[in-house]
Amino acid sequence: MYIERICIVGLGLIGGSFGLALRLAQRTAIPRFPLHITVVETDPKTRKLASRVADIVTADFAAGVQQADLVVLATPVRTIIRLLEILPQARPAGCMVLDLGSSKAEICATMEMLPPQFAAIGGHPMCGREVAGFGAATPDLFLNSTFILCPTNRTSDRLQKIALQLVDHLRAAPLHLQATLHDDMVAVVSHLPYLISATLMQNAADMAEDRLWPISSTGFQDTSRVSGTDPLMMLDILLTNKQAVLQQIAAYQERLTAVSHLIRDKNENALFQWLQSTQEEYFAYQAAKSTPQQ
Amino acid sequence: MYIERICIVGLGLIGGSFGLALRLAQRTAIPRFPLHITVVETDPKTRKLASRVADIVTADFAAGVQQADLVVLATPVRTIIRLLEILPQARPAGCMVLDLGSSKAEICATMEMLPPQFAAIGGHPMCGREVAGFGAATPDLFLNSTFILCPTNRTSDRLQKIALQLVDHLRAAPLHLQATLHDDMVAVVSHLPYLISATLMQNAADMAEDRLWPISSTGFQDTSRVSGTDPLMMLDILLTNKQAVLQQIAAYQERLTAVSHLIRDKNENALFQWLQSTQEEYFAYQAAKSTPQQ
């Protein structure tokens, strides 16, 4: 590895899996590479479990980042922004920073206000589960997934190289995107899917009928799965990607209204075309997903 | 078995799986029971494959139902209704009828207009896949799923008993529901989930961006899965369960608008409560699903 001392801030599903994946890479790489991980974690219970990942565990951000070559911020998005704001006081000498937050424009804008002794790059691993916390962390969470990197005007060539090496250790595929384009795209494939799944769950839970769950099938199960996502994480995502999310909801509502009118009017031909084109788009998506990416 | 001669009309995913499951039950039951299956199928290619299920294969409905003790209608819903309407001419002596359609009120109303020499009951196996056709049929499709039975004023005690025995052979769990309640409930857990998943797929497919699918993750994959459902089947479902579906879309849109306002207004407390209650409802649903049913 180009660097040795990493500080992971936030040992949840993503930060924990990141640490476990690096430990796995360290054990299996030839030649082996030195790796020293400090974990900053505010939850006492999680701190007790951190030894699978950490050489040093602390609750104190300033102490944790003190000797790190690279600080990896893996908390909810608005905490990442607050930590970026206090980082110059906590570590006046500067260091490198990568974050793993799910929205990128506000984070990257904050990174660009760091003093010149800092190098920073935005990161977003496109994987996740409807379970949260270090207990759900697994070293293969990133395997074969896309890891988005959002360079900023604080991204040095060295940090760029290190970020690509880390993504390689996670066995993910890197993809460079501009932060605002990233946010528009994840609004479409991640934040809107969460909201429509959550609204579906709220809608079904409102029907007071004991026999509703026994008759629900795999269709409901899959469509509602991401409604179980960690609310603290989602809160920050929705508030920091507000414009793109609202735009997607509005476009979505228009489409849903349009198809409801086809049903209302029993417009059989147009409704069938809508259903058929949907299935075609689903098949095209499946085909694209099964084609290996660069 | 209480009956020997069954005619399955429509050898798609559901009708084909129904036939394969009965054949499996026949092979494994002690003592073995006699079973004669006639398949009515209009597609020549499927007819060629039907010997895994059928003793006799025909394209002609009237010929197929001629000697059946029980006719099982497994076509799209509006075809089921049309077949029920011509059944008295096709089989003047009468017989028993079960259907496997996904909406029930219109079908059961049509069953109730059959002459008295017919006995009829509505059925809806709560299982499915986003693939259609006999090629996707499997004898374990119904395993551990709920099989809804909707009695009509044409349901005899004998047919009731036979229907329960068939559900047992499918290794599914029977649940009796009144047809209109069934339709309200499946609008919530099946038809609305399809529509929101399909609208999501249409919305994402509209973004002309090559990198959209590589960054989509398991969340999008699961939420969009049922958008691949057979359009011909969905057309009939949506048109025959119009009122309940429109009512659910309206309720859903109100909820989605409400949460979009929480995001727009950055109403952090109320938004967090909404996200948290959603996760709680998801956990409650998961717990209910994993509790064995009666």
Q: Tell me, what's the ipTM?
A: 0.90
A70: phi then psi, degrees, rounded to nearest 5: -135, 130
Alpha-carbon gap: A102 to the closest alpha carbon of chain B (Å): 12
- Is residue B181 within 8 Å of B103, Cβ to Cβ? no
Alpha-carbon gap: B231 to the closest alpha carbon of chain A (Å): 5
> Within a 10 A sphere around the Cβ of A116, how many other Cβ atoms?
7
Contact B192 A200 (CB under 8 A): yes
Task: Collect all residues with Cβ–Cβ distance below 8 Å to A270 and sequence separation of at least 6.
Answer: A262
Chain B interface disruption, residue of A13, A220, A240, most B CBs within 10 A: A220
pLDDT surpassing 80 at residue B208: no
Alpha-carbon gap: A129 to the closest alpha carbon of chain B (Å): 8
Write out the two tokens for A78: 């608005």
Question: Given strand A36-40, what is the order of strands in its sheet?
Answer: A56-58, A36-40, A5-9, A70-73, A96-99, A119-125, A146-151, A173-176
pLDDT surpassing 60 at residue A230: yes
| Interatomic CA distance for residues B4 and B35, integer angstroms | 5
Alpha-carbon gap: A214 to the closest alpha carbon of chain B (Å): 7
| Interatomic CA distance for residues A36 and A44, integer angstroms | 21
> Within a 10 A sphere around the Cβ of A28, how many other Cβ atoms?
9
pLDDT at position B237, please?
A: 95
- Is residue A37 within 8 Å of A4, Cβ to Cβ? no
Alpha-carbon gap: A10 to the closest alpha carbon of chain B (Å): 20
| Interatomic CA distance for residues B42 and A219, integer angstroms | 28
- In which band, very low, low, confident or very high, does the pLDDT at B290 lie, cut at 50, 70 and 90? confident
| Interatomic CA distance for residues B180 and B258, integer angstroms | 29
Give the number of beta-carbon pairs within 8 Å between A and B: 289
Instruction: Give pLDDT tens digits for B112-164.
Output: 999 999 999 999 999 877 678 999 999 999 999 999 999 999 999 999 999 99
Chain A interface disruption, residue of B200, B221, B280, most A CBs within 10 A: B200
Sign of CA dihedral B143, B144, B145, B146: positive
| Interatomic CA distance for residues B204 and A285, integer angstroms | 10
- Is residue A246 within 8 Å of B264, Cβ to Cβ? yes
Write out the two tokens for A274: 């809508």
Instruction: Give pLDDT tens digits for B160-190.
Output: 999 999 999 999 999 999 999 999 999 999 9
> Within a 10 A sphere around the Cβ of B185, how many other Cβ atoms?
21
Contact B260 A279 (CB under 8 A): no
Task: Collect all residues with Cβ–Cβ distance below 8 Å to B293 and sequence separation of at least 6.
Answer: A214, B146, B173
| Interatomic CA distance for residues A76 and B75, integer angstroms | 50
Contact B231 A279 (CB under 8 A): yes
Q: What's the average model confidence in pLDDT over A184-209? A: 95
- In which band, very low, low, confident or very high, does the pLDDT at B75 lie, cut at 50, 70 and 90? very high
Q: Which of A203, A227, A275 sits opposite B235 (nearest CB)?
A: A275
DSSP A61: H
Q: What's the average model confidence in pLDDT over B256-285? A: 97
| Interatomic CA distance for residues B257 and A252, integer angstroms | 11
Contact A279 B227 (CB under 8 A): yes
| Interatomic CA distance for residues A44 and A276, integer angstroms | 53
Sign of CA dihedral B29, B35, B41, B47: positive
Contacts with A207 from chain B: Cβ below 8 Å: 185, 188
Chain A residue closest in CA terms to B142: A217
Q: What number of CA atoms fall less than 13 Å from residue A143's CA on the CB side?
A: 9
pLDDT surpassing 60 at residue B45: yes
Alpha-carbon gap: B203 to the closest alpha carbon of chain A (Å): 6
Instruction: Give pLDDT tens digits for A29-59.
Output: 888 889 999 999 999 999 999 999 999 999 9
| Interatomic CA distance for residues B47 and B133, integer angstroms | 12
Contact B126 A277 (CB under 8 A): no
Chain A interface disruption, residue of B176, B184, B195, B202, most A CBs within 10 A: B202
Encoded amino acid at A182, one letter: H
Q: Which of A127, A185, A214 sits opposite B146 (nearest CB)?
A: A214
- Is residue B170 within 8 Å of B127, Cβ to Cβ? no
Contacts with B293 from chain A: Cβ below 8 Å: 214
Peptide bond into B139 cis (omega under 30): no
pLDDT at position B3, please?
A: 87
Question: Percent of chain A beyond pLDDT 70?
Answer: 98
> Within a 10 A sphere around the Cβ of B82, how many other Cβ atoms?
15
Question: Percent of chain A beyond pLDDT 90?
Answer: 90
- In which band, very low, low, confident or very high, does the pLDDT at A1 lie, cut at 50, 70 and 90? low
Contacts with B172 from chain A: Cβ below 8 Å: none
Average pLDDT across chain A, whole number:
95
Q: Which of B185, B188, B212 sits opposite A189 (nearest CB)?
A: B212
pLDDT surpassing 70 at residue A294: no
Task: Collect all residues with Cβ–Cβ distance below 8 Å to A74 and sequence separation of at least 6.
Answer: A8, A9, A10, A11, A12, A14, A15, A18, A99, A100
- In which band, very low, low, confident or very high, does the pLDDT at B193 lie, cut at 50, 70 and 90? very high
- Is residue A220 within 8 Å of B196, Cβ to Cβ? no
Chain B interface disruption, residue of A77, A215, A260, A262, most B CBs within 10 A: A215
In order of A215, B27, B153, the CA distances from B106 in angstroms are: 19, 36, 14
Q: Which of A130, A248, A271 sits opposite B238 (nearest CB)?
A: A271
Question: Angle at Cα B55 formed by Cα B52 and Cα B61, nearest 5°?
Answer: 105
Q: What is the DSSP string of chain B?
A: ----EEEEE--SHHHHHHHHHHHHHHHH-SS----EEEEE-S-HHHHHHGGGT-SEEES-HHHHHTT-SEEEE-S-HHHHHHHHHHHHHH-TT--EEEE--S--HHHHHHHTTS-TT-EEEEEEES---S--SGGG--TTTTTT-EEEEEE-TT--HHHHHHHHHHHHHTT-EEEE--HHHHHHHHIIIIIHHHHHHHHHHHHHHTS--TTHHHH--HHHHHHHGGGGS-HHHHHHHHHHTHHHHHHHHHHHHHHHHHHHHHHHTT-HHHHHHHHHHHHHHHHHHHHHHHSPP-
Closest CA to A46 of A59, A37, A35, A55: A59
Alpha-carbon gap: A67 to the closest alpha carbon of chain B (Å): 34
pLDDT at position A130, please?
A: 67
pLDDT surpassing 70 at residue B26: yes
Contact A215 B284 (CB under 8 A): no
Q: What number of CA atoms fall less than 13 Å from residue B271's CA on the CB side?
A: 21
DSSP A142: T
Contact A207 B188 (CB under 8 A): yes
pLDDT surpassing 70 at residue B58: yes
Closest CA to A10 of A57, A56, A73, A68: A73
